Amino acid sequence: MRMFKRYLPKLIAKHVSRLFSGRIYIDGRGGYQFDKGMLLVPVKAQERHYKTVNEVNFEIKRLKEVY
């Protein structure tokens, strides 16, 4: 499990896309799982979780377009 002290979508996207599956924790945002290179919405999700997942997955898609 990787813990991020700050919410930096680009850094998180790089981590998620490279490891492909696992768990992360973001201070102030909560815990997340990722599988197949994409961040997943938690079971008991709130609005901030959906926003975080959308932002990080958008950055992952941008990274994939570059390569």
Chain segment 12-67, per-residue pLDDT in tens: 999 999 998 999 999 999 999 999 999 999 999 999 999 999 999 999 999 988 76
Whole-structure pTM value: 0.91
Residue 13's nearest CA partner among 62, 53, 49, 60 is 60
Dihedral over Cα of 10, 13, 18, 22: its sign: positive
SS3 assignment for the chain: CEEECCCCHHHHHHHHHHHCCEEEEECCCEEEEEECCEECCCCCCCHHHHHHHHHHHHHHHHHHHHC
Whole-number pLDDT of residue 45: 93
The CATH number of 2-66 is 3.30.1910.10
